[in-house]
Amino acid sequence: MSWIQQDGYWSRPFDCHDEMMHFIRAQGEPLNREHWMFMLTAKIAAPTGDKDIVDQLRTAWKALRFTHPDIALGVYSGEKRYYPITDAQALESWADESFRVEAECSSTDDFFSKHHRAPPHANATIHWIPASNEIALVSSHLLWDGRGGMLMLHEFLATLASPVVPTVFDGSEAKSLVPSLDEVIGQPETPKPEWDKTAEGLLQQYIRAQPSIGLLAPGDPKAKELPAEMKRVETVFAPGEAKAIREAARKQNISVSTAVQSAAIMALAYLNDPATQPENFVAWTLYDLRRFLEAPFNGAEHAPSIRLGSQPIIVKSQGSWAEISKHVDGLNKLSWDVKESDRMFVRDPFNRRATGMFKGAAAYPDLTPPPGSEPFVSSMGIFDDYIKHEYGPYVVEDVSILCQTLTPATCLHFWSWKETLHVSASYNVAFYDAETIEKYLTIVKDILRKNLL
């Protein structure tokens, strides 16, 4: 899975993450959209003066191309490709395509909802919304995950403070292309039989526990609607209340991530008829695998990459706070360190089996149940650990993450920023109205208050 220099470009075969994300991306291509496409945003206070902020942003984007060439990757026939910059005009042409001023948009949420469409080759793009002083960094899930996106937003803002664009175009930036996780950990080409067995067992657990409780009742015809535009609803705990939640979680010997995940699961029971709701909540617990890697593979130098693991989470849909939070916390504390567990290696056969399951469902849509509506819950941690509050003359006032979803599975992200706690739901209006999502987030908030405060 190493990068290989070809005639005029560099290439790397897909790994198990790429294969899955490429298949998922392809399902949205007829709609010019992409499931799980990320948008990381930053609202900035720009310095006053004669300097043109648009020119500064564009210059920073061009400079970032040389330190993080992965932002310009393309996807072609089972491989990722990078075409080095050959001259100044080529750099300007690339910037014309990937840096955009969204003058017609009122905010990044407005841009996310009504205006953005997936680029043809999954390359990253960056957008400036002058009406709200917001930057939007957009990427296919084929290029990086949410934590990687946070690190890339930091790298862009750091470059923005003092951008320098090289004047020599010798293709040497390709040496900074990020290796696959398989290469980093030394994943064998042929998995051990026990890894295959474990992977199959995990997938069967997930399948046998279906259906899952979700935001839609079982059999709701809305689940079969064609996807439409995206919206986002967010609720925020003020600093004092967020601090109290953190302290209360600590006293219960659980993390804030565990607490919010548990509340998100419990809230579903309040939206479903107890007589007909499914017995289980069935979904995936996500892991940022950078935490289990050594430098430089765990930091900003390797930001544009997929370093993501998952395990099935199966809990009783009407379980108590103590029962659900204990189960969730146990999953969150699992180790993916290669010195302690084989999970990092099981990841490959597991992802390949999951991709095969997705392909089988797509090939026989009439025999496949409608997509589930269980929220896809993901902790972004403490944004302040990734994004500084100031970069030279630029002050970062707010940050957020948005995720496009083409199914009833709402993307629920949560994070801390400047002592506040944010819970944000990206959803598709084909399946829900704002009132439903707002009600759900209110219940999540109430459950956290009831069990922690």
**Share of residues in the chain with pLDDT > 90 (%):** 79
Query: Left (φ > 0), alpha (ψ -120 to 50) or beta: where does 169 sit?
Result: beta
Helix (H) or strand (E) holding 139: strand 134-139
Q: State residue 221's pLDDT score.
A: 85
Task: For residue 318, give the nearest of 366, 281, 353 by alpha carbon.
Answer: 281
Kindly state the average pLDDT of the residues 49-72: 91
pTM recorded for the entire structure: 0.94
pLDDT tier at 26, thresholds 50, 70, 90: confident
Q: State residue 51's pLDDT score.
A: 64
pLDDT tier at 281, thresholds 50, 70, 90: very high
Kindly state the average pLDDT of the residues 302-316: 95
List the single range of 18-22, 99-103, 248-252, 307-311 with lowest mean pLDDT.
18-22
pLDDT tier at 418, thresholds 50, 70, 90: very high
For residue 311, pLDDT beyond 80: yes
Q: State residue 36's pLDDT score.
A: 86
Domains located in the chain, CATH noted: 8-167 (3.30.559.10), 193-389+405-452 (3.30.559.30)
**Share of residues in the chain with pLDDT > 70 (%):** 96
For residue 410, pLDDT beyond 60: yes
For residue 49, pLDDT beyond 90: no
How much is the mean pLDDT over the chain? 92
Between CA 24 and CA 39 the distance in angstroms is: 17
Between CA 360 and CA 366 the distance in angstroms is: 11
Buried b / exposed e over 354-382, threshold 16 CB at 10 Å, is bbeeeeeeeeeeeeeebbbbbbbbbbbbe
For residue 1, pLDDT beyond 70: no
Q: What are phi and psi of 370, to 5 degrees?
A: -60, 155
Helix (H) or strand (E) holding 230: strand 230-237
Which pLDDT tens digit goes with each residue over 346-382?
A: 999 999 999 988 888 776 666 567 788 999 999 999 9
Which pLDDT tens digit goes with each residue over 164-223?
A: 999 999 999 999 999 999 999 999 988 899 999 999 999 999 999 999 999 998 778 888
For residue 50, pLDDT beyond 70: no
